[in-house]
Amino acid sequence: SYISYDTNDVAVYIADAVNLRSAVTVCGIITEVIKRTNDKGKDWFLISFTDKTGNLSGHYFPRKDKVKFVEALKEGDGVIFDGEMEEYNGRPSYRINNIGLCDFPADFVPERKEGKKAPANYKNIFPQELQDATQINVFKQDDFIPDCLMGKTFVVFDVETTGLDVLNDRITEIGAVKIVDGEIKDCFTTLINPQVNISEKITSITGITNEMVADKPVFSEICSDFYKYVENAILVAHNANFDISMMKNHYLREGYYLENSYLDTLEISRNTLKGLKNYQLNTVCDYFEIQFLHHRALSDAHATAKLFIELIKLKKCLPF
């Protein structure tokens, strides 16, 4: 039978929770429950859920008397969690302590926060056409555009950074592509001077050197342009919690609230493609024969855009 627990804590939005490193109560709708067994034979669960501000996956190691309860959870169930938002390899990680059922309103609309508005015009960085003409339309002539993509705008983006600490490291590059009605329309890309040193280790990963960003704009000089670019769009990224958290923290310092809904192709891949050795971007792109230059922001964003549409073609629906 289903069981619950008592809590007086107030749930926070997932979009805000991923920036915390503390005890957090969150609630939402389950999108997937995966049962796994560790090396010691103990069952644990990876539970994915959404609250319309973001998506989150939490790991839960239940007592024996709670295993059947968790096994009975299914997609669409309203749930509330108490847990700890931690950091694993520099990325947000949610450890679930308690799970209960709740009535999550179907018509829930997140409360909008007041901050700076998107400008009327671009100032420093302008959208561009993609240079490779073969990349403009990700669909073949005889292919179909899923109905769920029509009438919607998505911005698929990636950031390169000075490290994996979403609170203290800095963005060195933004790359993004815009999808309108299932077709890639244009892109947004810029290097950014992080105003801190880029280590040799990070340069070996991203290819971005201190010399490359020395004369580039700082984040405060381009943030309004990217804010305009993503206005009214659904954001998409691979391992989105990292990119979203990094962006949110940068924008908060400039007086903006980045409140766009977002989708994570890492979570969609896990839910849609079973049996891959891992779900890193290059692995999933290899599955669809999508080629790209890994660890440069625009290339990663464009590959993720292709991946996103391939995944939605398989699912035939959006994950919310």
Catalytically active residues are 295
What is the rounded CA–CA span in Å between residue 212 and residue 184? 28
Phi-psi region of 56 (alpha: psi -120 to 50; beta: other; left: phi over 0): beta
Distance (Å) of CA 313 to CA 51, 107, 288: 23, 26, 12
Q: How far is CA 194 from CA 123, 191, 209, in A?
A: 19, 9, 11
Apex 174 CA angle, 244 and 169, nearest 5: 60
Give the chain's largest Cα–Cα span: 62
**Strand pairing category for 55-60 and 91-101:** parallel
CA distances from 91 to 86, 100, 106, 241, 291 (A): 8, 26, 30, 8, 26
- The whole-angstrom separation of Cα 78 and Cα 278 is 28
DSSP reduced 3-state for 284:
helix
Helix (H/G/I), strand (E/B), else coil: 29: strand
